[in-house]
């Protein structure tokens, strides 16, 4: 199945609002997919994901286009500012009672060690590149069906590893790219404020190679459960 077919099937079978979003991290300018254009506006990673999901944005963002330095840093696009790396930012924002608690959390957040040139985005049905991760912004019921579809072939369990900060970047992209398994996150203050994720929506990231089998599972569920 092509990504276009997979995406259209997922949208139809789950009744998704918008599209699953293909995300790729390009190590160098030469790794930018052919024909992919730089995004003109400056945004946060979570906003780029939402723009691709809801408005069909396709393009790439370098360090200059990333407004959220925390998100850009965990994806390897730029070094983390000291006030982010040492927990000061999150402690001052009120996320943590102490700097020590902030530091412990920041150090536990998934982050890439390698340096990347840009992040690349597209609705999955328009992706003309191999994504590292496919991000879903969905209702809890749709998240349930996606989880069941992922487990349909081999069983097991799905982790939900998050801390309420750096959610669409560290949790939904970096953790999935590093571990090769899905992760679910609830968003963070920034992503819900700036990107318009609704109160009844959660976020999941999936390795792209699992999606074809998930579509087949969803078809089975439709036959058995309606």
Q: Over the stretch 7-60, which tens digit does the pLDDT of each residue have?
A: 999 999 999 999 999 999 999 999 999 999 999 999 999 999 999 999 999 999
- Give the residue-averaged pLDDT of 112-123: 97
Asked if the model's pLDDT at residue 92 lies above 90, the reply is no
Asked if the model's pLDDT at residue 99 lies above 90, the reply is no
Pairing assessment for the beta strands 133-138 and 59-62 based on DSSP bridges: unpaired
pLDDT of 151-178, one tens digit each? 999 999 998 999 999 999 999 999 999 9
Provide the 3-class DSSP secondary structure of residue 19: coil
Contact 204, 141 (CB under 8 A): no
Q: What is the pLDDT of residue 88?
A: 86
The structure tokens listed for 218 are 């969803």
Asked if the model's pLDDT at residue 87 lies above 90, the reply is no
Q: What is the pLDDT of residue 189?
A: 92
- Across the chain, mean pLDDT equals 96
Asked if the model's pLDDT at residue 226 lies above 90, the reply is no
DSSP β-bridge partners for residue 132: none
**Nearest-angstrom CA–CA distance, 54 and 42:** 17
DSSP secondary structure letter of residue 29: G
- Give the residue-averaged pLDDT of 175-183: 98
- Which H or E element spans position 11? helix 3-14
How many other CB atoms are there within 10 angstroms of residue 181's CB atom?
16
User: What residues contact 205, with CB distance under 8 A and at least 6 apart?
Assistant: 133, 134, 135, 136, 171, 172, 173, 175, 176, 182, 183
Asked if the model's pLDDT at residue 63 lies above 90, the reply is yes
Give the predicted TM-score (pTM) of the model. Answer: 0.96
Task: For 96-111, give one letter per residue: b (16+ CB within 10 A) or e.
Answer: beeeeebbebbeebbb
Got the DSSP string for 173-200? IIHHHHHSS-EEE---HHHHHHS---TT
Q: What is the pLDDT of residue 83?
A: 81
Least confident of 1-5, 74-78, 103-107: 103-107
Asked if the model's pLDDT at residue 216 lies above 90, the reply is yes
Q: What is the pLDDT of residue 9?
A: 98
Closest CA to 96 of 28, 164, 30: 164
Provide the 3-class DSSP secondary structure of residue 27: coil
């Amino acid at each position: 199945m092509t990504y276009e077919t997979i995406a259209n099937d997922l949208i139809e079978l789950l009744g998704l609002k918008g599209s699953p979003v293909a995300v790729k991290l390009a190590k160098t300018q030469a790794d930018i997919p052919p024909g992919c254009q730089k995004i003109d506006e400056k945004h946060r990673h979570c906003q780029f994901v939402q723009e691709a999901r809801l408005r069909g944005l396709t393009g790439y963002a370098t360090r200059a286009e990333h407004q959220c330095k925390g998100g850009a840093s965990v994806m390897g696009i730029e070094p983390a500012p000291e006030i982010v790396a040492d927990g000061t930012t999150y402690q001052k924002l009120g996320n943590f009672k102490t700097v020590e608690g902030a530091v412990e959390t920041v150090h536990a957040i998934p982050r890439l060690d390698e340096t990347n040139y840009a992040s690349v985005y597209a609705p999955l049905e328009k992706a003309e590149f191999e994504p590292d991760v496919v991000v879903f912004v969905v209702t809890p019921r749709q998240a349930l069906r996606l989880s069941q579809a992922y487990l349909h072939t081999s069983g097991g369990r799905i982790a939900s590893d998050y801390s309420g900060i750096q959610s669409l970047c560290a949790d939904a992209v970096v953790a999935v790219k590093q571990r090769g398994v899905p992760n679910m996150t609830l968003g963070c203050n920034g992503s819900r404020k700036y990107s318009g994720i609704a109160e009844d929506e959660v976020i999941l990231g999936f390795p792209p190679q699992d999606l074809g089998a998930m579509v087949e599972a969803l078809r089975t569920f439709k036959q058995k459960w309606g």
